[in-house]
Structure 1
Amino acid sequence: MKQHIMIDIETLGDQSNSVITSIAAVPFKPNEEGFPAARFYQKVSIQSCLDLGLRVSGDTLVWWLNQDQKAVMEMLENARPLQQVMLELWAFIMQMSKPDVIVWCKGARFDFGLLRDAFKACSLEVPWKFWNERDLRTLLSLYPEVKKLDRSNNLAHSAHHDCLHQIKQLQSIAKELKKVGLEI
């Protein structure tokens, strides 16, 4: 059985080569509830991203100013250099690859694209095959009722909390698909 990992990032832009402020990656099983103990969550130094040529969008900065300040502060605390975080993410995913990991995110063009930019800026290869990228947003469009799952224990716009919530959404969809004989 292939390993599945949900990935979520927070950024300071919505275009290619944007600054990434945090990254979460959580292994999971689509057809089982819950999450394994192994999780990756790191905050990234904005300055280290700028030093590597990544960019900030003014519109995104304004957007962050209107978000829950707890999420903003949580994102900035204990930030580490992008090069170090990307190397650790690479190692975390490679450790999980058995042999090919399936990676998920909510919006494949966004998260995966910006992560590709960051891996390239850090002179690292992407640790998954492009054909193993999966998009939760597409499944949510087919099962819109899943968008309403309780989020009360999750801080919105925290990469780690968003990752856990997205796994719950995917597991709910997998349960519905199983009823009609389909498996993720």
Structure 2
Amino acid sequence: MINTIVIDTEDMDVKPSAVILSIGGFAFDVTNTSETQTAILQVARDPELALYSAQAFYGLVDTFEQLMMGRSVSSETQQWWRAQGEEAHEALVGERQNLATQLLHLSGWISQHREARIFFRGTDFDGSILEHAYRMCGVECPWRYNGKRDVRTYIDAMTRGIRGYVKDHQPCFAMTKHCALHDAMNDAEQMTLAHQINSEMLAA
């Protein structure tokens, strides 16, 4: 039963108006770690699944069109991207579609899981950038203004932590940092582990 969605973006600025490079999402059952890990491993082994799987979404967005629309790029973020590893850059190579098209694809993917809660790592970054993009393109946002949830808060509440990560967690797959899909899958796995930890603490 899919009840949770995590969405991540890679961008060229920290403002809501940022040029969006890629959008990644993963849909899962937050109460089932083993099932989620199995699905993550399947997508990691076959990235094509992210193009049509009900559980995974990955889309690259045309940047030139966004610049013409007036979306923003910061020099600090450009420098940050130059310092990232080769794998992070390779994850951004592929066929790109215009912003409105990818937003519609994302909305269609989310609509398959109408009862799922939508999480971002922080409610004031990726979600705000996507909301700004939806407004700019005149496309209806697929979540309500109060519908965003925070991965960090969830993990800390479940584990009594303070950092927003499961302590000593190692992803079950070969993760490429700053790949939007991989970041979403990593957060999904940690959320299920946090739920499991909480269940074990309550049962003790």
**1:85-124 counterparts in 2 under 5 A?**
85-98=102-115, 101-124=116-139
Between stretches 12-21 and 48-57, larger displacement belongs to 48-57
1:49 aligns with 2:66: yes
Which residue identity does 1:88 align to in structure 2? H
Q: Deviation per CA, 1:98-132, whole angstroms, max 9, x where unpaired?
A: 3xx31011111101100101111111111112333
1:24-58: CA deviations, max 9, x gaps?
11111111023355211001111122122211111
Segments of 4+ moved more than 4 angstroms? none
Q: Is the 8 A contact 1:140 1:147 kept in 2?
A: no
Among residues 160, 171, 182, which one is paired with 2:192 in the alignment? 171
Number of residue pairs matched? 180
Letter of the 1:148 counterpart: D
- Compute the displacement of 1:164 (Å): 0.7
- Other structure's SS at 2:97 match: coil
Q: Find the aligned partners of 2:170 and 2:139 in 1 and give their Cα distance.
A: 37
The answer to whether the 8 A contact 2:100-2:139 is kept is: no
Q: Could you tell me which runs of 5 or more consecutive residues in structure 2 were left unpaired when the two chains were aligned.
A: 40-52
In the alignment, structure 1 residue 82 sits paired with structure 2 residue 94? no
- Residue of structure 1 equivalent to 2:48: none
CA deviation vs aligned residue, 1:122-175 (integer Å, no higher than 9, x gap): 111111123332101223454346153114610000001111111111111111
CA-atom RMSD in angstroms: 2.1
Question: How big is the shift at 1:181?
Answer: 4.5
C-alpha distance in structure 2 between counterparts of 1:75 and 1:147, whole Å: 29
User: Counterparts of 1:9-24 in structure 2 under 5 Å?
Assistant: 9-24=9-24
C-alpha contact (below 8 Å) 1:147/1:169 kept by paired residues: no
Q: Does 1:31 align with 2:31?
A: yes
Secondary structure of 1:18's partner?
coil
Alignment of 1:115-154 (within 5 A): 115-141=130-156, 142-143=160-161, 144=163, 146-151=166-171, 153-154=174-175
Cross-structure match for 1:4: 4
Fraction of identical pairs, as percent: 27
Task: Mark the runs of 5 or more structure 1 residues left unpaired by the alignment.
Answer: none
For normalisation by structure 2, the TM-score amounts to: 0.80
Q: TM-score, normalised by structure 1?
A: 0.88
